[in-house]
Amino acid sequence: MTDPLLSIRDFSVVYDVDPPVAAVKNVTIDIERGEIVGLAGESGSGKTTLAYGIQRLLKPPAVITSGDVVFHDADGEDIDINSLGVEEMRRFRWDKISMVFQGAMNALNPVTTIGAQLDDVFLIHRPEMNRTERRAAVVDLLEIVKVGGARIRSYPHELSGGMRQRVMIAMALALRPQLMVMDEPTTALDVLVQREILKQISQLRHEFGFSVIFITHDLPLLLEISDRIAIMREGAIVELATSEQIWSDPEHEYTRSLLSSFPRLTGEKGVVVR
C-alpha cells in the first residue's frame, strides 16, 4: 500500500518559442513519504524543468500546458499546487517543499554572513520568532549539517565548496519541509566531499523523515542512494523502478545505454562491462 506525499499526473511543459519545444511530456509519478527518488537522464532530458514546474518556479517562455500536482500534507490536507495564489505559493515553498538549486555553492550572497542569510529564512517565514530564537535556530542548523555554529559570522568566501553546499542544505532544511528537491547538489565537488554530502543527506532523511527528489545525470550515484529511480529521455519518463531493478534488470534500451556509458574499474581496457 502506497502513501504518496506528492502526486504528479500527466504533467507537461512547453517552451513557447518558434518552433515550440516540449520539455516535459505527460509525466506521471508519485513521491512516497520518506523515500529518495532519483531523476536521471542526459542534459536536456527535462529533469530540472520538471522540478521547477512542480514548484511553479518556471519563467517565460516555459508554460505548463497540462497536469495536476497534489501535495498530500502530513496533517491530512490535499493541496492542489496549481491552484495556489501567489502569496499562498510563497508560504508553501520552503515550508512544505524546499529546493537546493543547481550551482548552489555560488548561490550565497558574497557580502552577507551565512548566519544572516539563514536568519532571513526564519525572519520571512517565521515572523513570530524573536532574534534570540532565530539565532539559536541558525546555530542548530549549522551544527546539524556539520558546519558548526562558530561559523555563523563567516562569509561564503571563507568556506570551502563542501561547506557552502552544506549551508545551502541547511537553508533548505530550515523549516523542516516534507519534501526536498535537490538539483545536481554535488556537482563540482571532489569525490571525497561528494561522498560526505551524500552520506549526510541520507542521515538527515532518516532523522527528519523528509522525502527527496534527487536530480543528476550521474546514474551510478543514484543507484547508491535512491530507493527508486525515474529515467527521463526527451521530456518523458521512460522507466521507473527500484534501484535494484534498474541495476540488475533494466527494461528500457535507453536505461541500458546510460548504465553502459559509465566505465568500470575492472575489466579489459577499452571494453565496457555491465
**How large a percentage of the chain has pLDDT more than 70?**
95
Q: Say how far apart CA 219 and CA 262 lie, in whole Å.
A: 9
Q: Say how far apart CA 198 and CA 114 lie, in whole Å.
A: 22
pLDDT at 267: 57
pLDDT at 273: 47
Total residue length of the chain: 274
DSSP 264: P
Q: Where residue 212 falls among pLDDT bands split at 50, 70, 90?
A: very high
Give Cβ neighbours of residue 232 (< 8 Å, ≥ 6 apart).
Answer: 39, 40, 41, 45, 46, 47, 50, 238
pLDDT at 5: 97
Each residue's pLDDT tens digit, 107-143: 899 999 999 999 999 999 999 999 999 999 999 999 9
Q: Say how far apart CA 244 and CA 250 lie, in whole Å.
A: 9
Each residue's pLDDT tens digit, 144-202: 999 999 999 999 999 998 899 999 999 999 999 999 999 988 877 788 888 888 899 99
Q: Say how far apart CA 111 and CA 118 lie, in whole Å.
A: 14
218-234 burial, b for 16+ CB within 10 Å, e for fewer?
Answer: bbebbbebbbbbbbbbe
Helices 131-144, 161-173: crossing angle, 10 deg rounding = 130
In order of start, what are the domains of the chain with their CATH numbers?
1-96+178-262 (3.40.50.300), 104-176 (no CATH)
In which residue are the cell numbers 524543468 written? 49
DSSP 175-215: T--SEEEEESTTTT--HHHHHHHHHHHHHHHHHH--EEEEE
Each residue's pLDDT tens digit, 44-65: 999 999 999 999 999 999 999 9
Each residue's pLDDT tens digit, 24-39: 999 999 999 999 999 9
Is the pLDDT at 81 greater than 50? The verdict is yes
Q: Say how far apart CA 75 and CA 188 lie, in whole Å.
A: 38
Higher pLDDT, 261 or 162: 162
Strand partners, 69: 8
Rounded to an integer, the average pLDDT of 241-251 is 95
Rounded to an integer, the average pLDDT of 7-29 is 97
Task: Give the H or E element holding residue 127.
Answer: none
Query: 271 to each of 46, 81, 85, 218, 250, how far by Cα in Å?
Result: 30, 48, 55, 20, 20
State whether residue 244 is helix, strand or coil: helix
DSSP 239: E
Q: Say how far apart CA 269 and CA 57 lie, in whole Å.
A: 45
